[in-house]
Amino acid sequence: MSAKYVAIITDGNGRWAQQRGLPVLEGHRAGADTVRERLRDSVELEIEELTVYSFSTENWTRPPEEVEGLMAMLGERIDRETPELKEEGVRMRFIGRREGIGPELTERMDWAERETADNERITLFVAFNYGGRAEIMDAARAFHGGDEDDFRRGLYAPEMHDPDLLIRTSGEQRLSNYLLWQCAYSEFVFREELWPDFSRDAFEAALRTYDERRRRFGAR
């Protein structure tokens, strides 16, 4: 049994920077580099979907200079990396609310999705301005009756598979409002590494932990 659908709470960028006496945005840049590296690993490990928590609906309460820096950094990353991702067969999808992000960044996100829409090697879901409760509320507003499959059509990415495995770094052991609907039966692995230190070896160790478990989905 191998995990094909993996979600990660990329926690610890700020602490990583603090430990090194660096500005917090340097931690976020290092964290973005780690996302890129683990995405390449995911392709080699035959993972089909990777979902990363980039910016939550609660992160707006952080200092304005940090929020502004994160928005600028995402725009720069999209511009620089989308052509590479397109060549590497990565499909990009952003999940979350677009309200409040700003038209320029929204246009870049839309562009990245269009550029990579036909790729099939792996899908990278980036949860940006995302909250699990907000997603469920938004889906509920669009729901007019039916079953779970009908409700799922109102989620931000109804085509996303439920994660086999959810990994959280930095030693914290909570969901933090992430993929609340989708992770109903996911296996959780908590790692001590701060996200920028989450290496290929740590990734493979988390996947091996998943392989050692038996998923019952409520059965005996």
Catalytic residues: 11, 59
Mapped onto helix, strand or coil, the DSSP state of residue 6 is strand
3-state DSSP of 118-181: CCCCEEEEEEEEECHHHHHHHHHHHCCCCCHHHHHCCCCCCCCCCCCEEEECCCCCCCCCCCCC
3-state secondary structure of 108: helix
Q: Are 117 and 91 in contact (CB under 8 A)?
A: yes
Buried b (16+ CB within 10 A) or exposed e, 24-50: bbbbbbbbbebbeebbeebeebebbbb
